[in-house]
């Protein structure tokens, strides 16, 4: 990879977080991240990672001995991440006697050696993969977790509110239970927004707090304490409104436009962080970060920057930017230029800073999907890195990666061995 700051390896070297391509590769890779188990059809599957420091993208590899790409329906997917855990779904082709099938797996980076567990049936029917969340129990050092699937929702006339049925798999007891959650009645939980909330942008976890959040980057986060008794489902709205009608070109409705090119949200040590990237056409863009605790009532703006105010303080980076992406640099003024590039899809860092990764492409390369990742420190107003993006099957500068802290839970003393620990089924 072309990179100024990024390194890549298969081993665990104390990385605090990574960007993991959610579209896994089908291939054989064995290293200190490898873990395996059996599928519901009783053949072995292994999951491994090739790790890279951000802005590099880490890759997930799935391998089944004796099986090639023709035995898979599409690519395996990394659905969500929380602390030491990653949730995956793998779809397999069938045979003359058995139909196609899919299995869900939980990859646990630590404690101890990596482990892969298959989530047993029965799953609920007819649910969207991206709505499945994983909740670490206790803290990041715990072996146990819960997998939560929103199975259905309907209006409960007796309670006079929306009712959500959550199917929950508990790793400690290896059992499924059902939780009922009623839509909260508070000043922020708008009924119409909650009902239209799609929650397909992903699921975020608050770990030991027991709270999961289903993310709709236009509407907000539906929050529920899965560990509570009769937990309410409440809506936390964003600190900025939905785009105005002038934003909606060609008569498209808002639910036909992906919000990912403009917004992102994450949780860092219990703090919710939200970023919006607002384009000003040929006049650059503005990125703004807000933060809020899950128990608080208000958002607080932590930092903002206009692209014209971003500088490069690293002398090596100054010499490399014109080589990697000449359209981004004005040689005459020796500064960044934004009129010949398209910027999109901000991604927040998972450390306690205001660093954002932004997709950038030359305008005439946009359709060819040749993109780079900018690393911008919003608080300091500096460009910290630039790297060519090598993601998988990206569409319209919308990245396929998700942020995860799982490498920080890998056992660094095991980096020189090649384990494959069989997990539970």
pLDDT category at 172 given cuts 50, 70, 90 is very high
pLDDT category at 14 given cuts 50, 70, 90 is low
Question: Could you tell me the two tokens for 288?
Answer: 């703004």
pLDDT at 352 over 90: no
C-alpha pair distances (Å), 35 with each of 2, 137, 258, 351: 29, 21, 34, 27
What per-residue confidence (pLDDT) applies to 367?
56
pLDDT category at 416 given cuts 50, 70, 90 is very low
pLDDT at 250 over 70: no
What per-residue confidence (pLDDT) applies to 243?
73
What per-residue confidence (pLDDT) applies to 394?
64
pLDDT at 216 over 50: yes
Query: Average pLDDT for residues 385-410, to the nearest whole number?
Result: 84
pLDDT category at 178 given cuts 50, 70, 90 is very high
Q: What is the CA radius of gyration of the chain?
A: 22
Query: Average pLDDT for residues 393-417, to the nearest whole number?
Result: 77
pLDDT at 5 over 50: no
Query: Average pLDDT for residues 315-325, to the nearest whole number?
Result: 91
Query: Average pLDDT for residues 183-191, to the nearest whole number?
Result: 88
* Choice between 325 and 7, residue whose per-residue pLDDT is larger: 325
pLDDT at 294 over 60: yes
Among candidates 64, 60, 56, which has minimal Cα distance to 37? 64
pLDDT category at 369 given cuts 50, 70, 90 is low
Residue 398, sorted as left (phi over 0), alpha (psi -120 to 50) or beta, turns out to be beta
Tell me if 399 sits within 8 A of 345, measured CB to CB.
Answer: yes
Mean pLDDT of the chain: 85
Tell me if 163 sits within 8 A of 153, measured CB to CB.
Answer: yes
Q: What residues contact 221, with CB distance under 8 A and at least 6 apart?
A: 204, 213, 214, 215, 235, 236, 265, 272
What is the rounded CA–CA span in Å between residue 360 and residue 352?
24
pLDDT at 420 over 70: no
pLDDT at 6 over 80: no
What is the rounded CA–CA span in Å between residue 116 and residue 129?
19
What per-residue confidence (pLDDT) applies to 224?
94
């Amino acid at each position: 990879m072309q990179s100024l700051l990024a390194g890549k390896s298969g081993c665990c070297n104390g990385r605090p977080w990574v960007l993991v391509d959610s579209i896994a590769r089908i291939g054989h890779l064995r290293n200190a991240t490898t873990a395996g188990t059996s599928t519901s059809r009783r053949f072995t599957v292994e999951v491994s990672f090739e790790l890279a420091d951000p802005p590099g993208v880490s890759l997930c590899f799935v391998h089944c001995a004796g099986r090639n790409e023709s035995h898979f329906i599409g690519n395996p997917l990394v659905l969500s991440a929380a602390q030491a855990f990653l949730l995956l779904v793998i779809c397999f082709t069938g045979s003359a006697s058995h139909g196609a099938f899919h299995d869900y797996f939980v990859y646990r980076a630590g404690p101890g050696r990596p482990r892969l567990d298959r989530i047993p049936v029965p799953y609920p029917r007819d649910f969207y993969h991206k709505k499945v969340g994983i909740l670490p129990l206790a803290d990041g050092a715990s072996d146990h977790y819960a997998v939560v699937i929103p199975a259905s929702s309907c209006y409960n006339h007796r309670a006079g509110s929306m009712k959500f049925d959550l199917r929950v798999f508990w790793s400690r007891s290896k059992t499924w239970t059902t939780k009922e959650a009623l839509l909260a009645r508070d000043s922020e939980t708008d009924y119409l927004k909650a009902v239209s909330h799609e929650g397909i942008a992903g699921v975020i976890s608050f770990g030991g707090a027991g709270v999961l959040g289903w993310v709709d980057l236009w509407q907000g986060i539906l929050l529920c304490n899965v560990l509570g008794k009769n937990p309410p489902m409440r809506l936390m709205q964003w600190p900025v409104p939905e785009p105005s009608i002038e934003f909606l070109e060609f008569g498209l409705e808002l639910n036909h436009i992906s919000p990912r090119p403009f917004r992102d949200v994450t949780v860092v040590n219990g703090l919710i962080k939200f970023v919006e990237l607002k384009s000003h056409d040929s006049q650059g863009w503005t990125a703004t970060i807000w933060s809020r605790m899950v128990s608080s009532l208000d958002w607080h703006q932590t930092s903002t920057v206009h692209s014209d105010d971003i500088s490069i303080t690293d002398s090596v980076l100054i010499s490399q930017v014109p080589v990697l992406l000449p359209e981004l640099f004005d040689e005459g003024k020796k500064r960044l230029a934004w009129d010949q590039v398209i910027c999109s899809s901000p991604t927040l860092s998972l450390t306690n800073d205001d660093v954002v990764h932004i997709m950038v492409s030359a305008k005439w390369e946009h359709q060819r999907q040749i993109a780079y990742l900018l690393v911008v420190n919003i608080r300091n107003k500096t460009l910290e890195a630039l790297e060519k993006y090598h993601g998988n099957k990206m569409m319209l500068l919308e990245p396929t990666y998700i942020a995860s802290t799982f490498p920080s839970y890998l056992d660094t003393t095991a980096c020189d061995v090649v384990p494959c620990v069989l997990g539970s089924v």
